[in-house]
Amino acid sequence: SSNMAKSKFEYVRNFETDDTCLRNCYIVVRLDGRNFHRFSEQHNFTKPNDNRALGLMSRSARSVMEDMEDVVIAYGQSDEFSFVFKRNSTLFRRRASKLMTHVTSQFSSSYVFYWREFFGEQPLLYPPSFDGRVVLYPTNHNLRDYLSWRQADCHFNNLYNTVFWTLVQTGGLSTAQAEDRLKGTVAADKNEILFSEFNINYNNESALHKKGTTLIWTKQNETVTKCIKVSNEEEEKEVSVIRSRRRVQAHYCDIIGEQFWDEHPDILED
Ligand code: ATP
Ligand code: ATP
Ligand code: MG
Ligand code: MG
Ligand code: MG
Ligand code: MG
């Protein structure tokens, strides 16, 4: 600090570069699990979608939001999660490295901390890690396109993985054969394979798997009992008070179209 004698080493601080995020932009931090292809195999994830793993991802993302309340919406699928900070956030003076590292380390430590709640006795074999990146989006339109891009990616991968693993698990194909079979197919072909060969209507698959997880804040009224000291009386009185609390709520719905944004108009600012 300024009133302390400065050492001759102090000048090295000037090598630090400024990474303040441009004002008025949404700050998006996206993290992604490192080598989760291998991690998911070693921890016996159910293919194509392990719900324990998805639940743990969501739980860890909630930890991040509760730790950093300026996050207005988070979207996750597979081994990734995106966190959107409100555009006028001043958290960590908008320093990109601070925001990114706090998000990814809070997420990673939560993933380990809550592992048992989702995987029970199945041991965590090694410490997982997540990479992080920061991207700025200047307009609501750009931000919505970003989230749409991630959800479209979820849909595309999930359709592929659903057919792939059905061909393997039910159709008896090897993974190499299934890969061959799907080479060059478009979405309609994949839907058709599922429907005509396995009697599966992709539309009826779980929304969590098709749409991913969207986390937003919701206001909830809760009744709490408080003890209030009434003057001129000896004893405390119990009264019920209604408090409004912000809670993280999960949605498994389309966020590409207008409906979600019409129903939650306060996520985006003008
Ligand atoms: P990188 O380090 O480059 O990110 P990666 O192996 O993590 O490599 P991704 O493209 O991030 O590659 O893909 C993550 C992989 O993790 C998926 O392809 C899938 O195999 C696996 N995976 C992640 N979540 C789940 C889940 N809930 N259920 C089953 N498998 C999952
Ligand atoms: P910030 O989030 O800004 O880093 P901070 O509370 O972590 O806030 P630091 O300047 O990083 O502040 O200081 C870390 C503090 O953690 C120390 O001042 C000390 O109180 C405590 N601390 C860290 N390691 C030890 C240790 N091994 N033994 C005792 N106290 C420790
Ligand atoms: Mg990757
Ligand atoms: Mg990954
Ligand atoms: Mg990924
Ligand atoms: Mg510290």
Q: Is residue 110 part of a domain?
A: yes
| Predicted confidence (pLDDT) per residue in 84-115, tens digit | 999 999 999 999 999 999 999 999 999 999 99
Total residues belonging to the chain: 270
| Predicted confidence (pLDDT) per residue in 148-192, tens digit | 999 999 999 999 999 999 999 999 999 999 999 999 999 999 999
Q: Is residue 224 part of a domain?
A: no
Does the reported pTM lie above 0.90?
yes
Q: Is residue 166 part of a domain?
A: no
Q: Which atom of ligand 1 is the closest one to the Cα of 37?
A: 6
Q: Is 66 in the pocket of ligand 1 (CB under 6 A)?
A: no
CB 217 within 8 A of CB 72: yes
Q: Is residue 83 part of a domain?
A: yes
Q: Is 34 in the pocket of ligand 1 (CB under 6 A)?
A: yes
Identify the CATH number of the domain in which residue 30 sits.
3.30.70.3000
CA dist., res. 191 & res. 22, Å (int): 43
- Do the annotations mark residue 158 as ligand-binding? no
Q: Return the bridge partners of 227, or none.
A: 238
Q: Which atom of ligand 1 is the closest one to the Cα of 52?
A: 27
Q: Is 33 in the pocket of ligand 1 (CB under 6 A)?
A: yes
Q: Return the bridge partners of 84, or none.
A: 28, 73
* Integer CA distances (angstroms), 52 to 172, 181, 229, 241, in order: 25, 29, 47, 37
> Could you tell me the residue range of the domain that residue 109 belongs to?
16-151
Range of lowest pLDDT (56-60, 143-147, 229-233)? 229-233
In 3D space, the residue among 109, 72, 66 whose CA is nearest the CA of residue 88 turns out to be: 72
Q: Is residue 131 part of a domain?
A: yes
Mean pLDDT of 3-9: 81
| Sheet of 213-229, strand order | 130-137, 26-33, 80-85, 71-77, 213-229, 236-251
- Check residue 95 and report its DSSP letter: B
- Do the annotations mark residue 34 as ligand-binding? yes
Q: Is residue 265 part of a domain?
A: no
Q: Is 40 in the pocket of ligand 1 (CB under 6 A)?
A: yes
**Dihedral of the CA atoms 51, 56, 57, 61 (nearest 10)?**
140
What pLDDT was estimated at residue 248? Answer: 98
| Average pLDDT value for the chain | 96
C-alpha 67 – ligand 2 centre gap (Å): 18
What pLDDT was estimated at residue 3? Answer: 58
CA dist., res. 179 & res. 176, Å (int): 5
Q: Is residue 170 part of a domain?
A: no
- Do the annotations mark residue 206 as ligand-binding? no
**Structural domains of the chain, count:** 1
Express the helix, strand and coil content of the chain in percent, nearest 5 each: 45, 25, 30
Q: Is residue 188 part of a domain?
A: no
For 216, the enclosing helix (H) or strand (E) is strand 213-229
Beta carbons within 8 Å of 44's beta carbon, 6+ residues apart: 122
